[in-house]
Structure 1
Amino acid sequence: MQLYNLKHNQEEVNFETAVKLGLGQQQGLFFPVKLPVFKPIELLKILEMDFITRSTEILSKFIHHEISKKQLYKNVQKAFSFTHPLKVKITQNIDCLELFHGPTLAFKDFGARFMAQMIMLMNRNHETVTILTATSGDTGAAVAHAFYKMKNVRVIILYPKGKISILQEKLFCTLGQNIKTISINGSFDDCQKLVKEAFNDKKLKESIGLNSANSINISRLLAQICYYFEAFSLMSEKQRKNLVIAVPCGNFGNLTAGLLSKTLGLPIKAFIACTNANDTVPRFLSSGIWNPNKTISTISNAMDISQPNNWARIEELFHRKKWNLKELRFGSVSDSTTKNALKELFELGYISEPHAAIAYQLLKNQLKKEEFGLFLGTAHPAKFKNTVEEILNTQLELPDALESRMHLPLLSYNINPDFQKLKKFLIEK
């Protein structure tokens, strides 16, 4: 698999190099040189496969001969060794795809665990690797648990202090060992900026074997394509014909993966890019002007991102496929509307959480009579226990994954968004 740097097109690397580097020159994202396509007869065949076998076929279509299909199957089996996506009926023409049945109760488990398998497979010389990543909530836990106790891997996770739920924080800031967590006195965008500065420091990058586990890493992105195929395989023939998928968007990796599933031949009619008040992309799609505002804190904190990294990949994808960006549906939702959507879902007999509720609301608003809608359930409601309980006036039981960490002490460090302080930490800790 050959990939090129979106900011420096002359830089081309294979899959292994892209996984190891994370980012290319000038902090550019890697993007596939060739966008593979399943023939209609191939598509029908793989939709009949089980989740692991199908996922191996999908990933192999991109990776080709760099990793044998036999080896890839083993890695996929280890990475996705948890309950696969579940489709839950909400109304007559709307379902939810629950992606939160992994070890950290969020969709990020798919990408993070596959990336961990790739890093382990590729680290043939057992060199020390430093994984540096920023999280707005769920990435941190997924990455931490994926790499926990892994030999020769050190993980450092930055997150905005006081801007993720306490249960999200407990899930990854209580592990210790090879997992280091730093709360940053600022926003997620400040955390992301620090990660980019670290990658821009060539000497630092080489000295500590720096890599990133954000959705900027191509291995995470490719892994997420797999559950879109799973969703499609669970649909009836009628539902498949006019399928619209609403995606809660933060850094836009999830939507990028969905669009890549469409390039592979999955006949998804439309996607809805769903954001909260941090609506840089919806405003851009309306006006054609890219004008990020200061990040606003909301109850859907994992989407509190004003400068989404993966948007560059989406623009490139539309350009390459000669698709019209005007065909991408979009919308943003306020906290008050999010709360009402949660209440509405509860009245329908379904307990959700703020991110999925935003996707449900926009899907319901935009779905046409002949269409079938699917919104992504990206995290377990219990990860936002206090918020959900207050809005719905109900009690949520904590899953074991959260209950077991609830009373453990936080092991996080705290710094201001100062690169020199982060650099010192990376070198000394």
Structure 2
Amino acid sequence: MQLFNLKVPSETVSFSQAVKQGLGSQQGLFFPASLPVFDDIAALLAMPFAARSAEILHRLIGDEISKARLSAMVEQAFNFEAPLVEVEDNIYCLELFHGPTLAFKDFGGRFMAQCLAQLAKGEKITILTATSGDTGAAVAHAFHGLDNIQVVILYPKGKISPLQEKLFTTLGGNIHTIAIEGDFDQCQQLVKSSFDDGHARKALHLNSANSINISRLLAQVCYYFEAVAQLPQGEAPLVSVPSGNFGNLTAAMIAKALGLPIGHFVAATNSNDTVPRYWKSGEWAPQPTQATLSNAMDVSQPNNWPRIEALFQYGYLDKSCLSTDAVDEEYTQLAMRQLASVGYISEPHAAVAYKALKRELAEGQRGIFLGTAHPAKFRESVENVLGQPISLPPALAEVAGKEGLSVTLPYDYDRLKQHLLERIANV
């Protein structure tokens, strides 16, 4: 698989290089030099989830990883289900929270861990990533205890749910967590600054594990095929994706470019509505990040948006396949109550996608919205909105009483660099 840097197109890399490198020069994202169109979609959809996913990834990645080895990696990474649940007539939720950290990031995080374990060949690596919630837990659990790999997770102090935080700040060992006095966009900027710093990058053997890493992005393509495989045959669905950093939507749109029958997409954001405003006005004008109930989507400068623009620019998709919608706090809570009224308990991120889907869906049309996290990960807000208690699944009950191991740092790159060089470089 050949990829190129969207900011510096002359920089081309293999899949292996892109996985190990994370970002290109000038903080550029890697993007496939070409995407195939699958002419056997029906046959693919008839396959079991893991076998189908391995076939899709093999066609994309090529022979850099043998098909047998890739199949084993996928079996290890995707060892949980992604059920499609009908919540109303013609409206389905793709539940992506049945993995070990109860969030959709488990798919990408676990596959990336498999890729790095395969490709690094014993080299020292430091995974540096920012999280607005779910990425941290998925990456921490996927890499916990792996030899020669240190993981550093930055997150905005006080701006993610307590149970989300406990899932990744209580592990210790090779997992290092830092609470930054700032918002997610500032955490993300610290990661970018680290990658731009040649000294830090070399001394720490840096890599990134958020959705800018191509291995995570390609893994996410696979569960859209699983969603369509579970639908009754018929009209291609409308798919509503809760969107913060826009990796999830990018994966969905790549799936469509490969030939998966999806009719239309809705990019559903919360009040951090940079993309919906841009889609209407043509002006990219990020505003200060607002704290919302759907805090994993509290992102004003989404990293993956250039990849979506590339899908349009290089002719893989037409802009008409995408709509955008911003769902405010009032309507987020209303959507949670509406879902509860039909017997489906959901959390704020899925509720944003559900509300945007309902606004876009025509009568008789079939729609899918994504359930990206277990509602218990947002227990406080769900209970407050719905006025009823929800129980904790075992994965959360086990960490609820544990002490977090994070250190707190200001939003200051020099302080972060000093901390990492002192604590990580010589591990």
TM-score, length-normalised on structure 1?
Answer: 0.98
Q: Does 1:187 align with 2:153?
A: no
Partner of 2:84: 87
The equivalent residue for 2:19 is 19
Quote the offset at 1:426 in angstroms: 1.3
- Equivalent position of 2:231 in the other structure: 235
| Cα offset, 1:89, TM superposition | 1.0
Equivalent residues of 2:90, 2:364 under 8 A apart: no
Alignment of 1:50-129 (within 5 A): 50-82=48-80, 84-124=81-121, 126-129=122-125
Contact 2:263–2:321 (CA under 8 A) maintained in structure 1: no
Q: Distance in 1 between matches of 2:79 and 2:416?
A: 34
Q: Deviations over 1:234-291 (max 9, x none)?
A: 01112xx131000000100000000000011001100000000000000000000000
Q: Counterpart in 2 of 1:428?
A: 422
Structure 1: state its 5+ residue gaps.
none
Query: Do structure 1's residue 382 and structure 2's residue 383 form an aligned pair?
Result: no
Tell me how far apart the structure 2 counterparts of residues 425 and 321 of structure 1 sit (CA, whole Å).
44
Give the whole-Å Cα distance in 2 for the aligned partners of 1:268 and 1:370: 16
**CA separation in 1, counterparts of 2:221 and 2:9?**
24
Name the aligned partner's letter for residue 265 of structure 1: G
Equivalence for 2:164: 168
Could you tell which deviates more after superposition, 186-195 or 321-330? 321-330
The one-letter amino acid of 2:417's match is K
Structure 1, residues 11-40: CA drift from partner, whole Å, max 9, x if none? 00000000000000101000000111101x
| Structure 1 residue 326: Cα displacement | 4.3
Residue 322 of structure 1 and its aligned partner are, at CA, apart by 5.7
Aligned residues: 423
2:399 — aligned with what?
A: 405
Superposed displacement of residue 92, structure 1: 0.7
- Matching of residue 49 in structure 1 with residue 47 in structure 2: yes
- The answer (yes or no) to whether the contact 2:257–2:317 under 8 Å persists in 1 is no
Code of the aligned partner of 1:281: V
The alpha-carbon deviation at position 371 of structure 1 amounts to: 1.6
Output the CA distance in 2 between the equivalents of 1:371 and 1:203: 54
Matched AA of 1:53? A
Matched with 1:153 is: 149
Greater mean alpha carbon deviation, residues 43-52 or residues 136-145 = 43-52
Mapped to 2, the partners of 1:119 and 1:288 lie a distance apart of 38
Q: What CA distance in whole angstroms lies between the structure 1 residues aligned with 2:108 and 2:154? A: 18
Q: Secondary structure at the match of 2:290?
A: coil
Per-residue CA distance 1:170-216 (angstroms, 9 max, x = gap): 11000000000000000000000000000001121112110000100
Alpha-carbon shift at residue 69 of structure 1 (Å): 0.5
Question: In the alignment, is the contact (CA less than 8 A) between 1:183 and 1:414 conserved in 2?
Answer: yes
8 Å CA contact 2:240–2:368 kept in 1: the answer is yes
Q: Distance in 2 between matches of 1:319 and 1:380?
A: 36
| Alignment counterpart, residue 207 of structure 1, candidates 203, 222, 227 | 203
Seq. identity, %: 56
Per-residue CA distance 1:292-324 (angstroms, 9 max, x = gap): 000000000000000000000000011112644
- Look up the SS of the partner of 2:56 in the other structure: helix
| Cα gap change, 1:144 to 1:322, in 2 (>3 Å) | closer
Give TM-score, length-normalised by structure 2: 0.98
Q: Contact 2:133/2:161 (CA < 8 Å) preserved in 1?
A: yes
Q: How many angstroms apart in 2 are the aligned matches of 1:204 and 1:214?
A: 19
Name the amino acid aligned to 1:378: T
Distance in 2 (CA, whole Å) between partners of 1:391 and 1:382 is: 13
Q: Structure 2: how far apart are the matches of 1:22 and 1:137?
A: 20
Partner of 2:366: 372
Q: Which amino acid aligns with 2:108?
A: G
CA contact (8 A) 2:291 2:298 kept: yes
Q: Hey, what's the Cα distance between the residues in 1 that align with 2:14 and 2:317?
A: 26
Of 282, 287, 290 in structure 2, the residue corresponding to residue 293 of structure 1 is: 287
